[in-house]
Amino acid sequence: MGSSSRRKPSDTLRIQNPLNINTNAIGTKATGGGTGGSPPLDINNACPIKFRVELSNQDVDEGIELILDENSLIAPNIGEVDKVSARVVKRLRTCSVLGISYSITTVIDGDVHYAEFFQS
């Protein structure tokens, strides 16, 4: 571990709390004490602080807040901007169950447009 003076200002401290031992750990009552079961979910990989999804619609301005409706990204007063994959929708649902929500905004990096999801 480095000293606190070496941390970037945008770093966020995240402590992963273990899941309920009776429902999702190997060798517990839920699995009968034998092998099997699934390892605990790594919240840092499943629900990153922020992530980007490339937009196929390159006509969207930067900084527009988006709303996710099922698998469609919608910009108020513009309409549907793009669709996201089932994998992204599954990630967002998993994070929502864990109490983590995301805000979505458009970002332009070079010539590529992204929907940036960041924890709110």
pTM: 0.67
**Are 119 and 50 within 8 A, CB to CB?**
yes
In terms of pLDDT, which residue wins out, 41 or 50? 50
Cα–Cα distance list, 1 to 4, 5, 6, 92 (Å): 9, 11, 10, 30
Confidence of residue 51 (pLDDT cuts 50, 70, 90): very high
| pLDDT more than 70, % of the chain | 68
3-state SS, residue 104: strand
Confidence of residue 43 (pLDDT cuts 50, 70, 90): confident
- Map tokens 């996710």 to a residue: 68
